Amino acid sequence: MADYYSSGPIQPMIPKRLVTEEDLDLLDAFNIKVYPEKSNNEESHYFFAPEWSGSAYMEKDGKDIELSEDDIFACFQKIIRRSNGEIPWVSLELGYSCSKDRPDGYGGYAVFITADDVQYSSTSQWLEQRISEAETGDFGPQTEDPTGTTSTTDQAPPILAIHIEGGLVQAVFSNNPGNIAAKEIIILDYDTEGADGDEIILVPQCDGTPDVEAVSHIELIHQAGIDLPETLRRLKGGDDGGSNAVQSVNDHASHNPTPEMINNKNPVTALQHPYFDLRSWREEVRDCNTKRGYHEWVATKVEESRDDREEAGCKVIASGNLTDGTRVEKLAVPPSECAETCVICHNDFRINHTSPPEAWAIVDTTAFICPTCAEENNLHGEDKERQGAA
């Protein structure tokens, strides 16, 4: 297994009087360190990122707050404004390396920050542009065309892509950002738990329903450093055995929809799994227990639950629905002395108190429902064994 590294300096050195304790705490969360021995004077901070990370968590008012690269850049912009012209810009230059000699493990990345702008560039982006020009003859505006022909790069159909890592939006980019009328993309996160009040906005709904709270920020569209047309072709099943990744995502998104989920106008709960929800997935992402996207994580959890049920000897004997439409199954369960927790009322109960041992559960899970809640939801179901179904 290869390990990937990225590190680099922040320039110029910044006077200590311009840097607050809050700034230092935020930068430290991203492992951006102060190196006093590298400073050319005792009045300035020299910042260096020995292990760069584009995302981090920071405790505030007893809660873990998710942070992204945007928070780093915003921090330096505040310092620039605070300096009243003394520090007109801040730069970040990273070098990539790898524990094994893999071609994707090397390169560089630079960010140039001013009071009202953030610009990015990378060696891979530069090389991709030069390689494309050499292979297609379409020369970009920054490269002199040796043939004297006019570039057709700006006429390429624009493709928009969003880079997400750990559940956080890292960047928005396009193969042809100049041909996209919009220059800014609004990012909306409807899971507002743990967010500060000043991070939350009310999103107006077109159908006249009440506004919905969301954590929001704006991303600028940058020039892509990857081949988006080829990526899109592969995503649609152009090679690799014709696997259709788009259909796979849609299949996961529609997994086990209930009437309540389908009719739900809140984007944060619509088309969620009734038990493995977005909030649980975000907690696992925050605790570094998964790097999967939500729908892939759901599929994995469902498969694990099926395996657990099969290993325990559970057998489906009936099916039904909760009053909200969520699909459930009645399981014949081997006797056990372990207490289960009801997924509805959260009270503990013992399945082996019934005879024979049976219990209702959310479909494809071991999220059990106690007899009291089963009765309140009028769960009876059709006996699959009497119908000859296993």
Q: How far from each other are the two terminal CA atoms of the chain, in whole angstroms?
A: 43
pLDDT, residue 17, reads 92
How many Cα atoms occupy the beta-carbon half-sphere of 36 within 13 Å? 3
Cβ atoms of 118 and 73 within 8 Å: the answer is yes
pLDDT, residue 389, reads 35
Across 317-339, average pLDDT: 80
Q: Above 60 in pLDDT, residue 261?
A: no
Taking only the tens place, the pLDDT of each residue in 62-112 is 888 888 888 899 999 999 999 998 999 999 998 888 887 777 678 888 999
Q: Above 80 in pLDDT, residue 289?
A: no
Taking only the tens place, the pLDDT of each residue in 121-135 is 888 778 877 887 787
Percent of the chain with pLDDT over 90: 11
Cβ atoms of 189 and 201 within 8 Å: the answer is no
Look at 55 and 46; give whichever has higher pLDDT: 46
Look at 298 and 111; give whichever has higher pLDDT: 111
Across 369-386, average pLDDT: 71
Across 185-198, average pLDDT: 81
Across 133-138, average pLDDT: 73
Q: Above 60 in pLDDT, residue 154?
A: no
Q: What single-letter DSSP state applies at residue 41?
A: S
Q: Which amino acid belongs to residue 221?
A: I
Q: What single-letter DSSP state applies at residue 238?
A: S
Across 11-23, average pLDDT: 92
Cβ atoms of 42 and 142 within 8 Å: the answer is no
pLDDT, residue 142, reads 53
Structure token pair of residue 315: 């057998």
pLDDT, residue 244, reads 45
- For residue 344, give the nearest of 333, 331, 359, 356 by alpha carbon: 359
Across 155-160, average pLDDT: 77
Instruction: Label residue 168 by pLDDT band (50, 70, 90).
Output: confident
pLDDT, residue 13, reads 92
Question: What's phi and psi for 74, nearest 5 deg?
Answer: -65, -35
Q: Above 70 in pLDDT, residue 147?
A: no
Location of structure tokens 């106690």? 370
Is the pTM for the entire model greater than 0.75?
A: no
Look at 312 and 87; give whichever has higher pLDDT: 87
Percent of the chain with pLDDT over 70: 76
DSSP string, 89-109: -EEEEEEEEESS--GGG-EEE
Min mean pLDDT across 2-16, 139-153, 210-224, 289-303 is at 139-153
pLDDT, residue 282, reads 72
Look at 312 and 160; give whichever has higher pLDDT: 160
Give the β-pairing of 168-174 and 212-223.
parallel
Burial of 259 (C-beta count, 10 Å sphere; 0-12/13-18/19+) = exposed
Location of structure tokens 């990345």? 109
Q: Above 80 in pLDDT, residue 303?
A: yes
- For residue 211, give the nearest of 257, 266, 158 by alpha carbon: 266
pLDDT, residue 223, reads 81
Look at 23 and 232; give whichever has higher pLDDT: 23
Residue 83 to residue 18: CA distance in whole angstroms: 6
Q: Above 50 in pLDDT, residue 173?
A: yes
Q: What is the rounded average pLDDT for all residues in the chain? A: 76
Give the β-pairing of 117-122 and 160-165.
unpaired
Cβ atoms of 48 and 32 within 8 Å: the answer is yes
Taking only the tens place, the pLDDT of each residue in 238-259 is 554 444 444 443 444 444 444 4
Taking only the tens place, the pLDDT of each residue in 331-360 is 888 766 667 888 888 888 877 665 567 888
pLDDT, residue 76, reads 94
pLDDT, residue 347, reads 87
pLDDT, residue 349, reads 82
pLDDT, residue 369, reads 87
Residue 341 to residue 272: CA distance in whole angstroms: 22
